[in-house]
Amino acid sequence: MKTNIILAGVGGQGILSIAAVVGMAALENNLYLKQSEVHGMSQRGGAVQSHLRISDKEIASDLIPEGTADIIISVEPMESLRYLPWLKENGWIVTNTTPFVNIPDYPNIQDLIGAIEKFPHQISLNADEIARQVKSVKSSNMVVLGAASPFIDIPYASFENGIRQIFGRKGEKVVQLNLNAMKAGREFSEKKRKHN
């Protein structure tokens, strides 16, 4: 197996936590992993991305070549479209629909959703709302990960273990909130795929 994932968002939205959880899950399954992340300047509210590659064979490049990403996972709707040149023909977009508006020329949200819904392979969800429903307001990133998890060929239990390892030092309550958020995202995604 080989999965190329582009993680997208705005600096501070928690895409590195998603990467860390997937990374732990991959390690548990003895998969090779390369993950390149963005530090520095753009973390200040700028567009950020991370390339995450998982494979059962050794991985050469830290960067995903254009046109070969299997999934774009985005915690922000506009950001889900910024890396489209990387998406392969039948690739999936999994994105949060709650906009993060910190620029004056942020596009109309309905137009954005329209642009996303044009794709045959996409799951868009209001992750912030879902996070609120399960009382994990700060874990919308884990909701998005949950929604993307069916597209990553790793057992769900490994993602759960990933959350336990990454958030463990913050206490059991934080772990549980993140687990609940991820589960809610996954259920949304599975329901939506059945409907399609």
User: Which residues of the chain form contacts with another protein (CB under 8 A)?
Assistant: 10-11, 14, 17, 23-24, 27, 32-47, 51, 59-67, 78-79, 81-89, 102-103, 105-107, 111-112, 115, 136-139, 141-142, 167, 170-174, 177-178
Closest CB to another protein among residues 40, 194: 40
* Shortest separation between residue 173's beta carbon and another protein, angstroms: 4
* Shortest separation between residue 141's beta carbon and another protein, angstroms: 7
Closest CB to another protein among residues 60, 196: 60
Residue with tokens 């769900």: 156
- Looking at this protein, which amino acid is placed at residue 39? H
Q: Cα(144)–Cα(142) distance, rounded to whole angstroms?
A: 5
CA 167 and chain centroid, separation: 17
* Shortest separation between residue 189's beta carbon and another protein, angstroms: 20
Are 135 and 143 contacting, i.e. CB atoms less than 8 angstroms apart? no
* Shortest separation between residue 194's beta carbon and another protein, angstroms: 26
Q: Cα(116)–Cα(120) distance, rounded to whole angstroms?
A: 9
Are 92 and 122 contacting, i.e. CB atoms less than 8 angstroms apart? yes
Closest CB to another protein among residues 3, 141: 141
Classify residue 63 by its DSSP letter: S
